[in-house]
Amino acid sequence: MSEQVIWTMLINGAITGGLAGWWKGRSRLIWFLLGALTFGFALLVLVFLSKNKEEMDKRAVASGKAKICIGCKEAIKPDAVVCKHCGTNTIALQREQME
């Protein structure tokens, strides 16, 4: 294999590894490095890994696509009245806290 082919595989592995890691809510840097070291084969591992739920929730809240339930601390839709996880009425509780 020529040196150019190896470099191309290394860079492709690093970029796809980093992107896939980010998509799964995991560290971009670690998966960037793993992708480079394994020429992209780290992707196969990522496919079988579940998404990092805590990180995905954090991102959703930061982007306004979710809010955290005051009853169970799970991420729910921003306009949800009743939590889908624990059944807490989020509007009523918010009103009580304001009074």
Does 72 engage in binding with Zn ion (CB under 5 A)?
Answer: yes
Q: Does 77 bind Zn ion (CB under 5 A)?
A: no
**Pick from 86, 92, 94, 96: which binds Zn ion (CB under 5 A)?**
86
- Residue 56, C-beta contacts closer than 8 angstroms, at least 6 positions apart: 25
CA dihedral of 58, 49, 85, 78, whole degrees rounded to 10: 30
Q: Rounded to the nearest whole angstrom, what is the least distance from the CB of residue 50 to Zn ion in the complex?
A: 21
Cβ 13 to Zn ion, closest distance in Å? 40
- Rounded Cα–Cα distance for residues 20 and 30 (Å): 11
Which SS3 state, helix, strand or coil, does residue 34 take? helix
Say whether residue 66 binds Zn ion (CB under 5 A).
no
The residues binding Zn ion (CB under 5 A) are: 69, 71-72, 83, 85-86, 88
